[in-house]
Amino acid sequence: MTEPQPGGAPALTPAIVFENLQAYQKTCALHTAIELDIFRAVGQGPGDVASIARHASASERGIRILCDYLVVAGLLQKVGGRYVHTPSSAAFLDPTSPHCLASIARFLANPVMRAPFEQLTEVVRRGTTMLPGAGSVEPENPAWVVFAESMGPMMAPMAGPLGEVVLQGRKGPMRVLDIAAGHGLFGIEIAKQNPLAQVTGLDWAPVLRVALENARKAGVQERYSMLPGSAFDVEFGGPYDVVLLTNFLHHFDKETCVGLLKKVRSAIKPGGMVATLEFVPNEDRVSPPMPAAFSLTMLTSTTAGDAYTFKELAEMHRKAGFGEATAHAIPMSPHTLVMAHT
């Protein structure tokens, strides 16, 4: 252990080493708290250990220790011995909040999603996923049904701003292709904002069932059609006014992305556009935290994917024959929308 530093600088401690080595406990604690419906109990009850334990059908010892841990992790507060929401847990973890996104734990903290990280040392040695085939984008991977079912609440807040940016200066009848639609929320948003838009969702058939259900809920199912299959294999049809390419390019190497963008471009009308939503780190590749950190997920789960910088994405679009790309930050989200015209 080092001595306190002269000159008033704070003494070095190894706390950051312990925190990182034990960080896995945070994932498990939040996942468990969501599974046991702790955040609803805290929001609606008196917040003492006994009442939370009753709500969760769990032991008081377990609840006391778990809730104390959640306080240490900044996910609850403890006031006078009772647990109460933080502003963030009230907004994003209490199921009674319209902004609740607790369901994302089913995807992000899923043991299947976490498993590739158990082989990270060998992954770094080889520079590619240890998963069989194409990794997470292997055809018909059931993880994408879980993604479509559970990640909507994370994506929904981005749909409005995305729709506004995409539809700026565009009115009237239009055809929209939503590639790797997943939950379908981005294409559905276009249909909501423009009553003359016809939207086609492309994804594996079991995933598209989730998108269609969301289109029904939004009341736009009459203008929502489905194109089941792989974006690399199916005929896109068209031509389209707008193609949405959301959270998809990061799974592939640059050459594959350029090839797909060429196929996309050939399905777009003159004057039409592609709207690519991505985690886009700065050129230093270490900021902002979420887009920069996302590369590690692509390293572990794909053969050659990455979180691409705007410069790289602009170059891919250029090589595919698009005009100069522009970047639009989506407010309050870790995503950037990259747009390019034919």
- Give the closest residue to 302 by CA, choosing from 266, 268, 254: 254
For residue 205, the minimal CB distance to its own copies (Å) is: 28
Distance CA 264, CA 273 (A): 10
Nearer to its own copies, 36 or 211 (CB): 36
Distance CA 331, CA 164 (A): 12
For residue 2, the minimal CB distance to its own copies (Å) is: 6
For residue 328, the minimal CB distance to its own copies (Å) is: 16
Nearer to its own copies, 74 or 142 (CB): 74
- Residue 279 burial (CB count, 10 A): 22
Nearer to its own copies, 68 or 321 (CB): 68
For residue 222, the minimal CB distance to its own copies (Å) is: 28
- The alpha-helical segments, DSSP class H, found in the chain are 15-21, 24-35, 38-44, 49-56, 60-72, 87-92, 105-108, 111-114, 120-126, 143-150, 152-167, 185-193, 205-217, 254-266, 289-301, 310-319
For residue 7, the minimal CB distance to its own copies (Å) is: 13
Nearer to its own copies, 62 or 239 (CB): 62
For residue 234, the minimal CB distance to its own copies (Å) is: 30
- What is the maximum alpha-carbon separation in the chain? 71
Distance CA 153, CA 341 (A): 29
Nearer to its own copies, 218 or 296 (CB): 296
- Residue 331 burial (CB count, 10 A): 9
